[in-house]
Structure 1
Amino acid sequence: MTRTVATLAALLTAGAVQAADMGAQDEPIKLAINEWTGQHVTTHVAGEMLRAAGYQVEYVTAGMMNQFQALADGDIHATLEIWSSNVSDEYAKKIAEGTVTEIGDLGLNAKEGIAYPAHVAELCPGLPAWEALNDCAMQFATAETLPMGRLVDYPADWGTPGADRMTGLALPFKAVPAGSEGALIAELRASTERKSPLLITFWQPHWAMSAYDVKFVDLPVGNEDCFNDPAWGPNPNAVNDCDFAPSRIFKASWSGFAKKWPAAAEILSNYTLAVEDQQPMMGAIDVDGGKVEQVVAEWMDANEAKWKPVVDAALN
């Protein structure tokens, strides 16, 4: 914890706030840590805000797709960066049964899609139009995908959004799940260095979008008709023959959170993080080798005006 954050926490716990408003201060609030760097940044900023308010915080590693049962059971208390484009059906079930509560948007301006490093357009003329992939799939083929091209999809427990697009648009590509976010970055790095073909499922905000000059394939605009009605879109025999739906990024908590930690619930509900703040921190970690805790601490020190009013409002 930085000196600024520690000092604020000491002041707040010295008597400026009534214990009833704080709730169970003696019990740690457990925040989910998922598999990508941006989520680590998002979660640690939230955690340090809670600590500044006088709470104890623990970070708990949890898979993005399987975290919701733990959240419903109260084993994890909040998760801070859920992407609507690949959230599991389990989440909707927990919301419906009332064991998980949605606590507002994170505020990131996000996009997901099928992407490629800019140099790939020279290897597959016609990009960024998606139809070009029909004619140059063999450029992307590997031993494990022949005679089809290879799409490097999200890790398996993030869902299959890339595979869904290949099937929906009847593109001759086989989706191969990456092992992790790091594996996706390694693919981008290798393709950029070797000027080799690469098609990948990716997202922004992410530092790699600019570092490797990543471009999105132009797909038919995504909407609910595309996802539910095979007759909609260029392939009359399949759904998902379109782009990703615009991504909403939001937060959720265990349903008992607000009762147990009222001020903390208000802090997390009102917490937002901008792309221009998150993305440089991601680069400082993944490119420059910084530790999440130190990078976040430096941002907290330099940006009190962005987070401190949220903490103060919940405590006054």
Structure 2
Amino acid sequence: MRNIYKLGISTCLAALSATVLHAAELGAKDEPIKLAINEWTGQQITTRIAGHMLETAGYKVEYVTAGYQNMWQAVSEGQLDAAMEVWGSNVTDQYRQLNKAGKVEDLGELGLVAREGFVYPPHVAELCPGLPAWEALKDCAAAFATAETLPNGRLVDYPGEWGTPGADRIKTLGLPFKALPAGSEGALVAEFRASVERKTPLIAVFWQPHWAIAAFDLKFVELPKGTQECYDDPAYGPNKDVTGDCDFIPTRVFKAAWPGLKDKWPAAYEIIKNFTLTTEQQQPLMGAVDVDGKPTEAVTAEWLSANTDTWKPIVDAATK
């Protein structure tokens, strides 16, 4: 598996050379920097890699399990110091308000090229002719019906803590479906596995980067083109979680922190601000955890050992 994690150094160095880095003071290095651990594997991998970089710089790091939707007050108060993978498509109004008030700081792009939408395994196209066009779902909803949803079809939505993008879209698109939230990321993956093995109908809300996209050859439904005008639907207000009757806007994935991080741990601020992780880097690591069953800590440790030339220059530039 080691070769899977080995990355092209030139790409990273090119990106690094385009970023202005400078050495900074460590600051309160005896006090732990508290990083939020959220509910999905990719975020945990991202956070563990960033945490190791901070430890290499000489910091203590504490990983704090936090609910993604309700952690922002804690970040604004310094009870949590940073969140390493924030998806702009489903941040809450609380985040937006705190960010606008200067109480939560946006630390820039993480580097993931992300997409969200309705997905299905390939065999489902035979059960619902007309896919990937979204209009096909109007005519074959009965094929997706269950005892819980009759007479409507069943759409598996994100876990409840992540918002209700599926429920919102089927309502605005007038689709005869009922959205049922998945229990977790793992439960969503289990749905795909069961559908592929049994050739049963399934439509779900999902995202990439994720190893399951390739593992199950998942296809995206072609929803009406997402536009900023649709995203700022007057029925919901600007930049809400729902996007009216259109597709998901391409998602910005970024880092956010307690504004006091910059002054309390200056070098840590530089490291986090300049830390990036690409889809190509993260996705195999997710597979190693979720498919191969390896612990997240072991997978990230192996990646870090194999890719010192990728991340160490960022640490060195912030501290030397």
Q: Is the 8 A contact 1:49 1:307 kept in 2?
A: yes
Q: Is the 8 A contact 1:40 1:292 kept in 2?
A: yes
> Which residue identity does 2:42 align to in structure 1?
G
Matched residue, 1:13: none
TM-score by length of 1: 0.90
- What percentage of residue pairs aligned between the two structures are identical? 64
Asked whether the equivalents of residues 230 and 239 of structure 1 are also in contact (C-alpha less than 8 Å), the reply is no
Indicate yes or no: 2:60 matched with 1:56: yes
Q: 1:185 to 1:239 in 2, by over 3 A?
A: closer
Q: Which deviations, in whole Å up to 9, do the C-alpha atoms of 1:163-201 show, x marking residues without a partner?
A: 111111111111111111011011111111100000000
Q: Higher RCO, 1 or 2 (CA under 8 Å, sep at least 6)?
A: 2
Query: 1:65 is paired with a residue of what secondary structure?
Result: helix
Letter in 2 for 1:271: F
Matched, 1:87 2:87: no
Aligned counterpart for 2:284 among listed residues 280, 284, 302: 280
Partner residue in 2 for 1:222: 226
For 1:20 and 1:304, locate their aligned partners in 2 and report how far apart those are by CA, in whole Å: 21
Cα–Cα, structure 1 residues 315 and 239, in superposed 2: closer, same or farther, change >3 Å?
Answer: closer
| Aligned match of 1:10 | none
Determine whether 1:156 maps to 2:160. Answer: yes
Q: Tell me which stretches of 4 or more aligned residues in structure 1 moved more than 6 Å.
A: none
Residue of structure 2 in register with 1:14 after alignment: none
* Equivalent position of 1:105 in the other structure: 109
Deviations 1:74-100, CA, capped at 9 Å, x for gaps: 110000111111111110011122211
Q: Does 1:179 align with 2:149?
A: no
- Given the superposition, is the C-alpha separation of residues 310 and 239 from structure 1 closer, same or farther in structure 2, using an over 3 Å criterion? closer
Match of residue 296, structure 2, among 288, 292, 297:
292
Q: In the superposition, relative to structure 1, how do residues 229 and 79 fare at CA in structure 2: closer, same or farther (>3 Å)?
A: closer
CA distance in 1, matches of 2:311, 2:203: 38
CA 1:230 to 1:79, structure 2 compared with 1: closer, same or farther past 3 Å? closer
Partner of 2:260: 256
**1:57-113 deviation line (CA, Å, top 9, x unaligned):** 011000110110110111100001111111111100111222111101101011000
CA offsets, 1:120-164, max 9 Å, x none? Answer: 001000000000000100111111111110110001110111111
TM-score (norm 2): 0.89
Offset of residue 227 of structure 1: 2.8
Q: Which whole-Å CA distance do the structure 1 matches of 2:36 and 2:108 have between them?
A: 16
Distance 2:227 2:273 in 1: 28
Counterparts of 1:57-72 in structure 2 under 5 Å? 57-72=61-76
CA 1:144/1:258 → structure 2, altered by over 3 Å: closer, same or farther?
same
Question: What letter corresponds to residue 251 of structure 2 in structure 1?
Answer: S
Query: Which residue among 29, 39, 49 is the counterpart of 1:45?
Result: 49
Task: Work out the CA distance in 2 between the residues paired with 1:73 and 1:241.
Answer: 37
- Give the aligned CA root-mean-square deviation in angstroms: 1.5
3-state SS, counterpart of residue 69 of structure 2:
coil
3-state SS of paired residue (1:21): coil
Shift of 1:313: 0.8
- Segments of 5+ residues of structure 1 without an aligned counterpart are 1-18, 232-237
Number of residue equivalences: 292
Shift of 1:228: 3.4
Aligned to 2:13: none
